[in-house]
Structure 1
Amino acid sequence: MTVLIRGGTVVNADAEHRADVLCQGDKILQVGTDLQVPAGAEVVDAGGAYVMPGGIDPHTHMQLPFMGTVAADDFFSGTAAGLAGGTTSIIDFVIPDPQQSLMDAFRMWRGWAEKSAGDYSFHVAVTWWNDSVHKDMGTLVHEHGVNSFKHFMAYKNAIMADDEILVKSFQRSLELGAMPTVHAENGELVAMLQQQLLAQGIRGPEGHPLSRPPMVEAEAANRAIAIADVLGVPIYVVHVSCGEALDAITRARARGQRVYGEVLAGHLVVDESAYRDPDFARAAAHVMSPPFRSRENQAMLWRGLQGGNLHTTATDHCTFCAEQKAAGRDDFTKIPNGCGGVEERMAVLWDAGVNAGRLTPSEFVRVTSTNAAQLFNLYPRKGVIQPGADADIVVWDPKATKTLSVKTQHSKSDFNIFEGRQVTGVPRHTVSAGRWVWRNGDLRAEPGTGRYLKRPPFAPMFTALERFKQQHAPTAVAR
């Protein structure tokens, strides 16, 4: 298919300008003014609209088996919802059970993802350690294009990685040219606080944020950053939700350490009052970790995004319906953790960011697409409108409005954490790999059309010992 998108304002992370965009097959062929229309090409008028690279959500959990149930959105429904919202690529998570082979888990997730409607890739979690994990990490990097490994510092007695695992996995990531990522919450403290709250008779959803206060997140972020600093490996902190964890990232970056932060759209606009809703179903629908925080924390997260200490925006899309959440009706610790948002992320960020003067259009592109592409080595295939890049494009109407609601969403979830929020600025059209997948409100997603994205490793850096020897080598004296 050949498509000419004419008359829009092309927005990349570094600049915006009026230009036409010609796509042929699954690639962008030309970007320029007054491009000639090739024979047989479809011409689309983008007047009054922005033409931007498709969104990349670097943190989703489609079809995740978790806490005794399975997330409602599978890889088709979840990626299709993303396409409707302008997100054309996701990076999901392979999460092996303790003692499960990383390769066995990876093959299982790859099978589930074959039905994806949008492009996808994987982080792989390290939930235990022995020599086979060390070996599998190398196989994943060199043969399967995985360049990031996830570490849950929470969920004690399940998938939590202790300090020994962090040290060994971070070191192995360094050797391989991969980047460790961390879910930063002190699992020991969370487990203790949960039991104390239950003993006090606090059993409803309001107990969830009380068991995971900001300092629980900050301690873990500081610890993971310190371990990464000693080893000399870059680190990516997922779903930063509070000012204290952001402070840890900001301090480390000021010292020159390679630390990158991710913030969820939900954490920027939804606050902790949701857990005090007298309706159990509505309160439980907001249970995720880390929890939603105060408005003061939201203001700090926006500053972190504006100031460049938070780099990507994600959703942690992991949907559970009311019947599934009801497993924790009498014990908040049993409420499956997870919320949606893959469809709403970009509209929420545009409305609360660009329309509110917090972000420019180019900054919006940077935090919804380009930074993720660069951090996880998908750039310039993804994250930019330029010749040779994938034809993943959003024609964005900055004046169109929409009320976000479970009634109009494409996710299988029966709840929307942004319910009733009116946004200005939504996708008019979405192109994925050169195909129309969203056209004036018509979702044209097809199962199995998404492609698996291999992400090459980064150049391996010096190990901590080699770096120490370099820094402390005797200096030759000139004669």
Structure 2
Amino acid sequence: MSLLIRGGTVVNAEQMMRADVLTDDSGKIAAVGENLAAPAGAEIIDAGGAYVMPGGIDPHTHMQLPFMGTVASDDFYTGTAAALAGGTTMIIDFVIPSPKQSLIEAYDTWRGWAEKAAADYSFHVAVTWWDDSVHRDMGTLVKERGVNSFKHFMAYKNAIMCEDEVLVNSFSRAWELGALCTVHAENGELVYHLQKKLLAQGINGPEGHPLSRPPEVEGEAANRAIRIAQVLGVPLYIVHVSCKEALDAITRARNEGQRVYGEVLAGHLVVDDSVYRNPDFRFAAAHVMSPPFRSKEHQEHLWRGLMGGNLQTTATDHCCFCEPQKAAGKNDFTKIPNGTGGVEDRMMVLWDQGVRTGRLTPMEFVKVTSANTAQIFNLYPRKGCIQAGADADIVVWDPEGTKTISAKTHHQKIDFNIFEGMNVTGIPVHTISRGKLVYTKGDLRAVQGAGRYVDRPSYAPYFDALEKANALKAAKAVERV
């Protein structure tokens, strides 16, 4: 059945205009324009006074993740259903192979878990070790499985941390394949050293977590990954940038002409490090994630980075662990499972703290919640815009609607909310996924298995052109010598 969204203001990254939006039975947008006629049997949504925007894309989630001896509490159905309730219509999750595990085997496992998803999804695949089979599997993933990005953890020593040798090999292979490299930038050796030092000093509560991961360890790792990427000529995407030091490294590289992208979490923009000093273990442990929440000074720099374009995307790193799981680190902060929620709240928090404060325009909001992610990860214009032919992933947004965020009312499968009690203005009233109305005025109609895997083509044609340009530049330099 087709849908006609009538009387709203369509907001894309490049323009706003009063227009109706018509979807068709295939789940695509059929038309955008004034005074569109409703086909027979079409459902009509009155969007008067509302914005009609592309559904959000969260480029960083971990549904059902096996991690630190437990498994994240949100699976691909409950997590994507919660996303739809918050106006997010697609996630990019992470396949994380164990060391020595085949990348293809891990990918197939995650694809099986994700079959229950209620919203569209795709995958980054982590490289956690290296040999010839990894080299081969990366090729298979890009050429046959629709993967165009590979993740590298520079943290978590003795688990999934990449040494520089792995980074160099994987970055080089990604360049050959036309794939994007992403990194979790924290110096794992320094973190491990500081963890042992703090425990020896008797600091074993959640307050030890940020002390073991100061901004400098993130800044060092970000700069190291950037310089490795610079030497190899490969574009780089740095996930969950949380501090000035990492942002400065990105800004320097971009000013030098390097292709580097930065992602910031909604939580890092509004939650500060005072949460770790709360005497209630449950409260403090619930905020343990990596990188940790930072001081308000760092938050202000992150907002400036987002406003100025040196941070391009927003995400959540949605990875939920409930109180009994967090209790595993009751006497040792290094054993607290790292992760928080937020996939349902990101859009509302960013509108309230971004658009309502004047930090972002509605068009910039669309850029940082969907369009930039779609463009960086080669989903655009299928995703991330309201135009004929695009997927009908749409959120109808009430800029004056209000809500109090709470674990008591959210749909995320977690007993805590890092935005608990936050009163937001600007909320989704309707969410459409592939042309189906899946959330309307508080009524969540998510369907298990309705989501589809979305292939993301490689960037090989662009990389080939870039390589020719670099070769020409090098040849001219030799001539001058």
* Range into which the TM-score falls when normalised by the shorter chain: over 0.9
Residue aligned with 1:457, SS: coil
Matches of 1:432 and 1:463 in 2, distance apart? 35
Asked if 1:314 corresponds to 2:320, the answer is no
Structure 2 CA distance, aligned partners of 1:40 and 1:97?
Answer: 51
Cα deviation for residue 38 of structure 1 reads: 1.2
Q: What is the CA–CA distance in structure 1 between the aligned matches of 2:467 and 2:446, rounded to whole Å?
A: 50
Alignment of 1:64-75 (within 5 A): 64-75=65-76
- Which residue of structure 2 aligns with residue 234 of structure 1? 235
User: Distance in 2 between the 1:466 and 1:36 partners?
Assistant: 50
Deviations 1:174-199 (A, max 9, x none): 00010000000000000000000000
For 1:214, give the aligned amino acid. P
Q: In the alignment, residue 90 of structure 1 is paired with which amino acid?
A: I
Q: SS of 2:258's equivalent?
A: coil
Deviation string, structure 1 residues 329-358 (Cα, Å, up to 9, x no partner): 000000000000000000000000000000
Q: Which amino acid aligns with 2:389?
A: G
Following TM superposition, by how much is the alpha carbon of 1:37 offset from its aligned partner in structure 2, in angstroms?
1.5
2:165 matches 1:151: no
Distance in 2 between the 1:476 and 1:173 partners? 27
Contact 1:231 / 1:464 at 8 angstroms: preserved in 2? no
Mind listing any 5+ residue stretches in structure 2 that lack a counterpart?
none
The residue number in structure 1 matching 2:32 is 31
Tell me the residue number matched to 1:448: 449
SS at match of 1:437: strand
Which residue number corresponds to residue 341 of structure 1? 342
**How far has the Cα of 1:462 moved from its partner?**
5.5
Aligned partner of 1:99 in structure 2 is 100
In 1, the alpha carbon distance for the partners of 2:467 and 2:188 equals 30
Residue correspondence of structure 1 range 72-221 to structure 2 within 5 A: 72-221=73-222
Question: What is the CA–CA distance in structure 1 between the aligned matches of 2:237 and 2:467, rounded to whole Å?
Answer: 22
Between the aligned partners of 2:264 and 2:43, the Cα distance in structure 1 is: 38
Query: Contact 1:55–1:369 at 8 Å: present in 2 too?
Result: yes
**Contact 1:232/1:464, CA 8 A, preserved across alignment:** no
Matches within 5 A, 1:403-442: 403-442=404-443
Residues 8-19 of structure 1 aligned to structure 2 (within 5 Å): 8-19=8-19
The one-letter code sitting in structure 1 at the alignment partner of 2:386 is: I
Please say if residues 10 and 385 of structure 1, whose CA atoms lie closer than 8 Å, have aligned partners that are also in contact: yes
Counterpart check, 1:51 vs 2:52: yes
Question: Within 2, Cα distance between the matches of 1:430 and 1:476?
Answer: 57
Deviations 1:286-312 (A, max 9, x none): 000000000000000000000000000
Q: 1:154 to 1:45 in 2, by over 3 A?
A: same
Give distance in 1, aligned partners of 2:298 and 2:260. 20
Distance in 1 separating the partners of 2:469 and 2:7: 52
Contact 1:8 1:47 in 2 (8 A): yes
Residue in 2 aligned with 1:20? Answer: 20
C-alpha contact (below 8 Å) 1:62/1:317 kept by paired residues: yes
**Corresponding letter in the other structure for 2:4:** L
Number of aligned residues: 477
Instruction: Provide the C-alpha distance between the structure 1 equivalents of 2:348 and 2:150, rounded to a whole number of angstroms.
Output: 29
Q: 1:475 to 1:193 in 2, by over 3 A?
A: closer
Output the amino acid matched with 1:23: T
> Would the alpha carbon gap of residues 228 and 81 (structure 1) be closer, same or farther in structure 2, given more than 3 Å must change?
same
1:469, CA displacement in angstroms? 5.4
Cα distance change, pair 381–326 in 1 and its aligned pair in 2 (3 A): same
Letter in 2 for 1:2: S
1:442 Cα deviation after fit:
0.2
- Choose 466-475 or 171-180, whichever is displaced more: 466-475
Shift of 1:41: 1.1
SS at match of 2:460: coil
3-state SS of 1:377 partner:
coil
Structure 1's 13 and 469: CA in aligned 2 closer, same or farther, altered over 3 A?
closer
When normalised by structure 1's length, the TM-score is 0.98
Deviation at 1:463, TM superposition (A): 11
Structure 1 segments, 4+ long, off by >3 Å, are 462-472, 474-477
Unaligned ranges ≥5, structure 1: none
CA distance in 2, matches of 1:449, 1:20: 26
Instruction: Report the alpha carbon displacement of residue 36 of structure 1 after superposing the two structures with TM.
Output: 1.2
Deviations 1:383-441 (A, max 9, x none): 00000000000000011100000001001100000000000000000000001110110
- Between the aligned residues of both structures, percent identity stands at 73
**Equivalent residues of 1:390, 1:433 under 8 A apart:** yes
Q: State how far apart, in whole Å, the 1-side matches of 2:190 and 2:376 are.
A: 31
Distance 1:311 1:204 in 2: 34
Cα distance in 1 for residues equivalent to 2:471 and 2:325: 54
Deviation of 1:467 (Å)? 7.4
2:6 matched to which residue of 1?
6
Residue type at the aligned position of 2:436: R
* Secondary structure, aligned partner of 1:58: strand
Q: Give the alignment of 1:465-476 within 5 angstroms.
A: 470-473=472-475
Distance 1:465 1:390 in 2: 33
Which residue type is aligned with residue 264 of structure 1? L
User: Secondary structure in 1 aligned to 2:123?
Assistant: strand
